[in-house]
Amino acid sequence: LMGHPAVAEAAVFAVPDPRWLERPMAVVVLREGASVEPEALREYLSGEFPRWWLPDRVEFIEAIPRTSTGKFQKSVLREQYGGASAS
């Protein structure tokens, strides 16, 4: 996702799914002044990854939470978007 010209940062993580137990979801921070539709990002990824690896949901956010060492806090994202059972 971060190779897309409109994307500044992105994180993909698993969220609970009633059928498959877990499915990928993406949160994306857009570059200043950029815009893109979620389906365009899925299409961008479709040439590189199998369809079942593509995120079912894409949410646009202002900033991705980070640890004190600068890594993405995927546990925070899972809790925020997937509920407590996703930790």
72 in any annotated domain: yes
Quick one: pLDDT at residue 86? 40
2 in any annotated domain: no
19-25 contacts: CB < 8 A, separation 24 or more? 22/86, 23/55, 23/56, 24/53, 24/54, 24/55, 24/56, 25/55, 25/56, 25/57, 25/58, 25/59, 25/81, 25/82
- Strand-pairing partners, residue 30, are 7
Domain that holds residue 24: 7-86
Whether this model's pTM surpasses 0.85: yes
Q: In a structure prediction context, what are the per-residue pLDDT tens digits for the chain, which is 87 residues long?
A: 999 999 999 999 999 999 999 999 999 999 999 999 999 999 999 999 999 999 999 999 999 999 999 999 999 999 999 864 443
40 in any annotated domain: yes
The CATH number assigned to the domain holding 64 equals: 3.30.300.30
